[in-house]
Chains A and B, each alone.
Chain A
Amino acid sequence: AQKVTQAQTEISVVEKEDVTLDCVYETRDTTYYLFWYKQPPSGELVFLIRRNSFDEQNEISGRYSWNFQKSTSSFNFTITASQVVDSAVYFCALSEAGYALNFGKGTSLLVTP
């Protein structure tokens, strides 16, 4: 069973629009970690954020922000004022056992000028 669901397969926005990428996870563990990675066309996965299950405080980093809600098992990612360079595939991932990452299928974001 898929532990991480990214329901949006592809999103297309015009530059400067805000966009939210959804992530819903499933786990029975009380201790777990959530991650977001960016995969540009070059292929390398770039780490964006890590959040542990005990810290529900939202985080903002520049134009990026993350909303973690345990009540709905969601860890959504918002890009404010999107730019063409944000075009990439974004993956949400869950770590339960402390090492292996369970990735979602990814959301492909296209930002057009």
Chain B
Amino acid sequence: GAGVSQSPRYKVAKRGQDVALRCDPISGHVSLFWYQQALGQGPEFLTYFQNEAQLDKSGLPSDRFFAERPEGSVSTLKIQRTQQEDSAVYLCASSQDLANQPQHFGDGTRLSIL
């Protein structure tokens, strides 16, 4: 498709399990972003990639969160030893380049930790 694709759409995991969320950006988009959106709140920035380089990970809540984009296209957000407070919608966005171009978002992955 032409848009940002995220999978899975929904993920339920037990506390303590590891999860991996996938993002397939718009073809040719250099920049890729991950955001976390808690219920009833605005999205909060987690991390940013330019091609395969992770240029900013200041928003990652803890060292249990890890993101990668090894070939400069698909990205994976991994959460280790999940906790209940990790329950949220994880949004991925991509844009053509750095210069404040509009970010195009996927539908998100709704993560529920039991």
Residues of A that sit less than 8 Å from B by CB: 4, 33, 35, 37, 42-47, 50, 52, 91, 93, 95, 98-106
Task: Specify which chain A residues have a CB less than 8 angstroms from the CB of B40 in the assembled complex.
Answer: 105
Are B107 and A43 closer than 8 Å at their CB atoms? Answer: yes
Interface size on B, residues (CB 8 A): 27
Question: Can you sample 21 A-B contacts with CB below 8 Å?
Answer: A33-B100, A44-B105, A44-B106, A45-B43, A45-B93, A46-B105, A52-B100, A91-B42, A98-B100, A99-B98, A100-B33, A100-B48, A100-B56, A101-B33, A101-B35, A101-B103, A103-B43, A105-B40, A105-B42, A106-B41, A106-B42
Q: Is the CB of B105 within 8 A of A95?
A: no
CB distance from A4 to the nearest CB of B (A): 8
- Chain A residue numbers with a CB within 8 Å of B55 are 99
Closest chain-B Cβ to A91's Cβ sits at a distance in Å of 5
Q: In the complex, which residues of chain B have a beta carbon less than 8 angstroms from the beta carbon of A103?
A: 42-44
Q: Which residues of B contact A (CB under 8 A)?
A: 31, 33, 35, 40-45, 48, 55-56, 59, 89, 91, 93, 98-100, 102-108, 110
Shortest distance from the beta carbon of B113 to any chain A beta carbon, whole Å: 19
A35 touches B44 (CB 8 A): no
Chain B residues lying within 8 Å of A104, measured Cβ to Cβ, are 42
Residue in chain A with minimal CB distance to B42: A103
A98 to B108, CA, bound (A): 23
Q: How far is the CB of A100 from chain B (nearest CB, A)?
A: 4
Residues in A neighbouring B93, C-beta threshold 8 A: 45
- Report the minimum CB–CB distance from B47 to chain A (whole Å): 9
A45-B43, A106-B42 known; A99 vs B31 contact (CB < 8 Å): yes
**B43–A101 touching, CB < 8 Å:** yes
A107 to chain B, nearest CB (A): 10
CA distance A84 to B59 in the complex (A): 36
Pairs of residues from A and B, 3 with the lowest C-beta to C-beta distance, nearest first? A103-B42, A45-B105, A100-B45
Complex CA gap A10/B110 in Å reads: 23
* A93 vs B43: C-alpha distance when bound (angstroms): 10
Q: Are A44 and B108 in contact (CB under 8 A)?
A: yes
Q: Which of B35, B100, B107 contacts A42 (CB 8 A)?
A: B107
